[in-house]
Amino acid sequence: MRETFHIEITGPDGLVQRASVRVAGLEAVRERALRLFRRARVPQRLGPAAEAVRVVDGAGREVFAWSMWDEGGLRTR
């Protein structure tokens, strides 16, 4: 069953990008969030620098978060 998740990419001054996605599960949304985060951090990108990404489920609970300071591992909630 597909669920709706909200991916939020933040920078030093707040929200940089927001996307809503419908995917089959948490693993799929994690992959999508990390892909968007990597794309937001490329040096060629215009605008504020991305520092963190978080995923919120349809009920408003944060289910995944990762930042540029998390080394090597993924932090989940």
Query: What's the pLDDT tens digit per position in 6-58?
Result: 999 999 889 989 999 999 999 999 999 999 999 988 888 787 889 999 999 99
Q: Are 55 and 30 in contact (CB under 8 A)?
A: yes
Give the residue from 25, 29, 21, 34 showing the smallest Cα distance to 68: 34
Residues facing residue 1 across a β-bridge: none
pLDDT at 72: 54
Helix H or strand E segment including 3: strand 3-11
Overall average pLDDT of the 58-77 stretch? 77
Q: How far apart are the first and last CA of the chain?
A: 21
pLDDT at 41: 87
Q: Are 52 and 62 in contact (CB under 8 A)?
A: no
Q: Are 6 and 55 in contact (CB under 8 A)?
A: yes
Would you say residue 1 has pLDDT above 90? no
